[in-house]
A = this chain, B = another copy of it.
Amino acid sequence: MIQLRPQVWPIMQAALQAVDPERAVSHYFTQHPDILTPLQQTQGRLFVIGAGKASAPMAKAVQQLLADKISAGIIIVKYGYSQPLPTGSPIKIIEAGHPVPDDAGLQATRELVALLQQTTAADTVLCLISGGGSALLTLPAEGLTLADLQATNQVLLAVGATINQINTIRKHVSAVKGGRLAELAMPASVISLILSDVVGDPLEVIASGPTVADPTTFAEAETIINQFNLAAKLPRAIIQHLQAGSLGQHAETPKPHDPIFQQVTNFIIGSNRVAAQAAMSAAQTAGWQAQLLTTFIEGEAREVGRVMAALAKGLQRGEGNLPLPMCLVLGGETTVTLHEPHGHGGRNQEMALAAAIALEGWPRILIACLGTDGNDGPTDAAGAWADGETVGRARALGLEAVAHLNHHEAYNLFKALDDLIMTGPTHTNVNDLILIFVW
């Protein structure tokens, strides 16, 4: 199956290109002159703000399209993720801590908020959001500290709160999350361009939804505190803040029917779905039948890998009516439950290895599992290839696939086989893709 890889490589490339942050912003504006033209012709001022790992290249695209309209801008990115803008650009790029927020992020967010206080009703705030934005855009509610927020986060994770519960609390101890950034931008209009790193693209979850109405309440936050008996475990200031909020002593986060949202529009400009659909189109162009099954894949990587192998086998045996040669496209993001001691790998490599074990001996199947950011787990690979020969080729090198899977040691096996997918860092992140080729 190795010989097929160069043929299908462009299909992966097409998917990654479709969600390149700079290209996604340009493409979006090209496709939506109804948004771009008013910005180009506005008599008001244009402020460009944003936070996220991909927000620097997004700003670059905005700078190119709207250069002379931009009054000022602040973009907060992860350390090492800034990119030079043209000399004289009014957009300032500030690096800060991720995934743990730090003082640099706090200062940058304060500066960003100060910028928003200059806006008038004639102005537009263009907000560039991408994955990581929640940690980078960080400003505790009045009376709370960054340390309070971090301690709260750790306790919530430790007691097993769900991500929805954690987000409910987070949004009610922050001055910018859960739509509060949009509030701060008033009376200007707000256009948020969002690169989604959350499966299913829930607007209120991506980067904690700084410009999105928050359906959750202080009362719900307090219920969660009580449910987990956190009154004594959380910082006292946090408990007091939430209780006061519950009693109506703090303003609620803006809700879906809040009139401010008549001035706010949120657009997903890049997502797993965009990447997956680009892969499907590219596969069709390359002569494959292609079908995008879902971008909602979640679950334990190795188990998902077995299901992917099952889908390939069903196709290969012609069990249904789907024609060959077929490229099935799936997307989402899996997780790995690590057992100690463990080796080196990532969720996509682990999925590929589990799929390879299930596919041993099967002909005419090739599966690619990759993270769109180019870094699968703590490795320099985006993912790996799996086919019916993987296990046998590894065995010939003295590497047992099952043992490697059991020890979360996929990287070295795939490296030895030259079966890692190496894209280099893509500077975007719209989760993971799975391409299943059967012919």
Q: Mark A312-352, 1 if CB is under 8 A from B, else 0.
A: 01110001111000000110100000000000000000000
Residue with the highest number of chain B CB atoms closer than 10 Å, among A280, A300, A307, A315:
A307
Q: A319 to chain B: which residues have CB within 8 Å?
A: 273, 276-277, 292-295
Which of chain B's residues has its CB closest to A294's CB?
B314
Of the candidates B295, B299, B310, B314, which one forms a contact with A314 in the assembled complex, judged by CB atoms under 8 Å apart?
B295
**CB–CB A291/B321 < 8 A:** yes
* A360 CB, nearest partner CB in chain B, Å: 10
Enumerate A386-436 residues with CB–CB distance to B below 8 Å. Answer: 402
Q: How far is the CA of A315 from the CA of B273 in the complex (A)?
A: 13
Which of chain B's residues has its CB closest to A319's CB?
B292
Q: A300 to chain B: which residues have CB within 8 Å?
A: 300, 303
Q: How far is the CA of A313 from the CA of B217 in the complex (A)?
A: 27
Q: How far is the CA of A225 from the CA of B321 in the complex (A)?
A: 44
CB of A200 within 8 Å of the partner chain: yes
Q: A358 to chain B: which residues have CB within 8 Å?
A: 298
**CB–CB B298/A310 < 8 A:** yes
Which of chain B's residues has its CB closest to A406's CB?
B160
Q: A273 to chain B: which residues have CB within 8 Å?
A: 319
* A318 CB, nearest partner CB in chain B, Å: 10
Tell me the count of chain A residues lying within 8 A, CB to CB, of chain B. 35
CB of A309 within 8 Å of the partner chain: yes
Q: How far is the CA of A311 from the CA of B296 in the complex (A)?
A: 7
Known: A303-B304, A307-B307, A313-B200. A320 touches B296 (CB 8 A): no
Which of chain B's residues has its CB closest to A313's CB?
B296
* A210 CB, nearest partner CB in chain B, Å: 24
Known: A300-B303, A303-B303, A304-B303. A294 touches B276 (CB 8 A): no
Q: A315 to chain B: which residues have CB within 8 Å?
A: 294
Q: A311 to chain B: which residues have CB within 8 Å?
A: 293-294
Q: How far is the CA of A311 from the CA of B304 in the complex (A)?
A: 12
Which of chain B's residues has its CB closest to A354's CB?
B299
Q: How far is the CA of A313 from the CA of B199 in the complex (A)?
A: 11
User: What are the 8 tightest A-B residue pairs by CB atom distance, in nearest-first order?
Assistant: A294-B314, A303-B303, A292-B320, A296-B310, A296-B313, A299-B306, A299-B303, A294-B310
Measuring CB to CB, which residues of chain A are less than 8 angstroms from any residue of chain B? 162, 200, 273, 276-277, 280, 291-300, 303-304, 306-307, 309-311, 313-315, 319-322, 329-330, 332, 358, 402
